[in-house]
Amino acid sequence: MLKECLKLISEGSVKSTKDIANKLNISEMEANQFIEQLKQMDYLKKDGSEFSCGGKCFGCNLSNCPTNSFMTFSLSEKGKFYLKKL
């Protein structure tokens, strides 16, 4: 399941843990756990710094974000290498 999660992230087809949960038919809590595991395995890296929209969510699909602040991640070189081997 971690592999499928990593693949979704690499394809850019998910924007949140809720998207991951829906696509993998799991709970959001499980999706968060997968993200944490992938970070610990160094397959994901944090993109730049924390993003904050300042509450200007015009047309944003994350407009219901409770904090108006979230972290974004991308595949690390190790994560990209792992997916290439599949």
Quickly tell me which residue has 């843990």 as its tokens. 17
**Mean pLDDT, to the nearest integer, of 29-45?**
93
Q: What is the pLDDT of residue 45?
A: 85
Quote the pTM value.
0.72
Q: What phi and psi, each to the nearest 5 degrees, are found at residue 54?
A: 65, 20
Cα dihedral 30, 24, 2, 19 sign: negative
For 48-82, how does the pLDDT look when each residue is reduced to its tens digit (9 = 90+)?
A: 544 555 555 555 555 555 544 455 778 999 999 99
Other Cβ atoms closer than 10 A to 39: 16
Domains of the chain listed by start with CATH number: 2-85 (1.10.10.10)
Other Cβ atoms closer than 10 A to 8: 17
Q: What is the pLDDT of residue 60?
A: 54
